Amino acid sequence: MGESIGTAAAVFAGTNVDDIVILTVLFLASRAGGVPRPWQIVAGQYAGIAILVAVSAVAALGLTVVPDRWAGLLGLVPFGMGVWGLVRKDDGGEAGPVASGVVSVAGVTLANGADNISVYTPMFRTIGPSASLVTIAVFALLVAVWCAAASWLGSHKKIIGLVERSGRWLVPMVFMVIGAVIVVESAFR
């Protein structure tokens, strides 16, 4: 069980490093203009992550017809996304998220969640039902931790720049590690 908790925490952190930046910006907007309200940010993040987990779990169930040794190759998806993230050119012209309530915060989480689905689906496919339940519980706990951390970060503007700078290389590297772990673990099943 300890291994499942550790793996779930690492997967959540790796797939949600980018969310910490978005949540921090949302908490900054809340402090500056009162919109969205902090409870809306938290509720929207929970709703968005719950939908991403549900979609991934359903997709993983659909993959049960695929033999385990082949299902692990799905780890190449997050690995490839990591490689792509490292080599693609950043144009710097991307606008920040705009969210004003629970639904829009959930929408931002979903829009930013393709990477989550690409990692969670093969993970849920390979870890089994009991480890999946532990993983979901860890994710639920870590959403609260992420929101608390983002709220704290949202009160320190210098930290936002640091998180944004490191996120450009950190996120792709974490994806590559997660993808490699999925492939390697499936090879030894």
Residue pair 26/155 in contact by the 8 Å Cβ criterion: no
Q: What is the domain range of residue 120?
A: 2-88+96-187
| Count of structural domains, the chain | 1
Q: Please say whether the beta carbons of 23 and 173 come within 8 A.
A: no
Q: Which residues have C-beta within 8 Å of that of residue 93, sequence separation ≥ 6?
A: none
Whether this prediction's pTM lies above 0.85 is answered by no
The residue type of 150 is: A
> Is the bond preceding residue 36 a cis peptide, omega within 30 degrees?
yes
Tens digit of pLDDT per residue, the chain (189 long)? 888 999 999 999 999 987 887 898 788 778 777 888 999 999 999 999 999 999 999 888 887 666 656 666 767 776 776 787 778 755 554 434 456 789 888 888 887 777 788 899 989 988 989 999 999 999 999 999 999 999 998 887 676 666 566 656 765 776 687 778 777 776 765
